[in-house]
Amino acid sequence: MTSRISTSRIRRNGFALMAMSSLLMACDSLLSVENPGRVEETALADAAIMPILSAAALQTAQCGFVEFAATAGMLSGEYWSANGFVNNHPWEWRGVVEIKGNPGGCNNGRATTSLGFYIPLQQARFQLDDLAKRLGTFTDAQVPNRQRMLAEAAAYAGYTYTLLGEGMCEMAIDNGPKMTSAQVWAIAETRFTTAIQIATTINDASLRNMATVGRARVRLDMGNLTGAASDALLVTAGFVRNAEFSETTPARENHLYNLTVRNDFLSVTPAYRGLTVNGVADPRVRVNDMRRVGTDNATAVFQQQKFTGSGAVGFPIATYAEAQLILAEARGGQEAIDAINRVRALSNIAPMAVPPAGTNITDLVIEERRRQLFSEGHRYVDMLRKKIPFQTGVNRKGQTYSDLTCVPLPDVETRNNPNFKG
């Protein structure tokens, strides 16, 4: 049956929200504010509810980031499906019809096998942009920490646009016409620039670094190597900005951990098992052989050990390591080797020796990215950027890989958006 629900309506439902009056206060941590329930639209014009809307939007964004990483991990061959659920295993063999019918959603339970990032990221994008507009109607005196909320809204929105531009074949925003990745990335860049400006003014180093890494990333996507390198150089050594999780409710848990460890729904593929550097195990890609098979009775379970809990253990949104690898790709040559070695030093890995003459430095950078950024969604993006071949043939379950690479717009968008023309 064709869905009658438009994505714009789904996104707006994310702001039909409220919580107990005791929660209507400013906060320093997303985890200190409960995700609210429903209220009338008119109630959202109250300055006191802005911290609640901010917390809800950030939570949706963080869900979207993790859903992107899990889904991208399947598409890129970091993970195999170790179960037979219809909302999960087609993402491994890239079933076109199945993927177009499954736009994804935020984790509503520990046992969910669902994948897909379109709806979570679209919801977050809408909520964050809407939040910024609402905050614009108030003054700093009316809304404590308003400038920080504006910077967060812009920075997190920048990432939603970036990921949608990276993963989707084409895009549509708020029932608008078809957009290219370049058009979506241009919006992301403006959001990051806004975040950088505000974060600099209020002296929030974490948000400034986060937005700077994001702008470097999207500039790399757009082929602006000079701009990407300039931004990457500005990121503070050792910087990490993590998503926050909690086990107070399943909706706040790290779904990637639940998929890969708690429930054995995804298994690390052979390409990421037993990786070494100079004969020593690579600590960036730690994998445990569980010596059992998944619920599909066909896939050996190998668990990732990068994310070791569904609660407080963070998921990296932006890091100094990523910035250095962007610098390495943008600059090349000895600067690339130096940047790689700075990244390796973060994990106490021996530095890379000077490569022989004629070595393709970009290939070295992409391999370092494959390891350093494992299970964060970057490998899929790199495969699309660099036209790295996707898996073909038949998998261990007899399923044939399709020729899908980027993700097509889901049926819920193409069938219900009156302005979209394929």
> What mean pLDDT do residues 1-13 have?
39
Output 394 or 109, whichever has higher pLDDT.
Answer: 394
Taking the C-alpha atoms of residue 173 and residue 182, their distance in angstroms, rounded to an integer, is 14
Q: Is the pLDDT of residue 32 over 60?
A: no
Tokens 């950078």 locate to 365
Of 10, 75, 39, nearest to 380 (Cα)?
Answer: 75
Res. 18: pLDDT tops 80: no
Task: Find tokens 């730690």 and name the residue.
Answer: 286
User: Distance between CA 380 and CA 388 in Å, rounded?
Assistant: 9
Strands (E), 252-372: 266-268, 276-277, 280-281, 287-293, 300-304, 315-319
**Given a cut of 50, is residue 313 above it in pLDDT?**
yes
In the numeric block, the tokens 């609210």 are attached to 36
Could you tell me the pLDDT band of residue 39, with boundaries at 50, 70 and 90? low
- Residues 296 and 83 sit within 8 Å (Cβ to Cβ): yes
What single letter denotes the amino acid at residue 169? Answer: C
For residue 421, which amino acid is it?
K
Q: Is the pLDDT of residue 26 over 80?
A: no
Q: So what's the pLDDT on residue 250? A: 77
Angle at 364 between CA 343 and CA 192, to 5 degrees: 55
Q: What band does 47 get if pLDDT is binned at 50, 70 and 90?
A: very high
pLDDT digits (tens, 9 = 90+) for 259-303: 999 999 999 999 999 999 999 999 999 999 999 999 999 999 999
Q: Considering only CA atoms, which of 363, 293, 374 is closest in space to residue 78?
A: 374
Contact 311, 247 (CB under 8 A): yes
Residue 109: what pLDDT?
63
Listed range (25-29, 158-162, 165-169, 242-246) with the worst mean pLDDT: 25-29
Cα–Cα distance measured from residue 45 to residue 193, given in angstroms and rounded to the nearest whole number: 27
Instruction: Please list, in sequence order, all residues whose beta carbon lies within 8 angstroms of the beta carbon of residue 4, skipping any fewer than 6 positions away.
Output: 416
Average pLDDT for the chain: 89
Region 195-201: what's the mean pLDDT? 98
- pLDDT for 280 equals 95
Place of tokens 């084409």: 170
Structure confidence at residue 421 (pLDDT): 63
Burial of 177 (0-12, 13-18, 19+ CB in 10 A): exposed
Residue 305 structure tokens: 């050990």
Report whether 124 contacts 64 (CB < 8 A): yes
* Count of C-beta atoms within a 10 Å radius of residue 380: 26
- pLDDT for residue 314: 77
pLDDT top residue among 386 and 307: 386
Share of the chain above pLDDT 90, in %: 78
pLDDT tens digits, 218-256:
999 999 999 999 999 999 999 999 998 888 877 788 899
Q: What is the bridge-based pairing of β-strands 315-319 and 300-304? A: unpaired
When pLDDT is cut at 50, 70 and 90, the band that residue 166 belongs to is very high
* For residue 376, pLDDT beyond 70: yes
Q: Which helix or strand (DSSP H or E) is residue 32 part of?
A: none
For residues 14 and 60, the answer to whether their CB atoms sit within 8 Å is yes
Residue 28, pLDDT > 50, answer no
**For residue 169, what pLDDT is reported?**
98
pLDDT value for 245: 86
pLDDT(12) > 80: no
Greater model confidence, 51 or 252: 51
**Of residues 301 and 356, which shows the higher confidence score?**
301
Domains of the chain: 7-246+314-393 (1.25.40.390)
Q: What angle do CA 286, 292, 296 make, to 5 degrees?
A: 105
Residues 69, 78: contact at Cβ < 8 Å?
Answer: no
pLDDT at 322: 98
Residue 172: alpha-carbon gap to chain centroid: 19
Residue 170 is predicted with a pLDDT of 96
Span 322-335, pLDDT tens digits: 999 999 999 999 99
pLDDT at site 351: 96
pLDDT tens profile 91-150 = 999 999 999 999 998 866 677 898 999 999 999 999 999 999 999 999 999 999 999 999
Lowest mean per-residue pLDDT among 156-165, 168-177, 245-254, 263-272 = 245-254
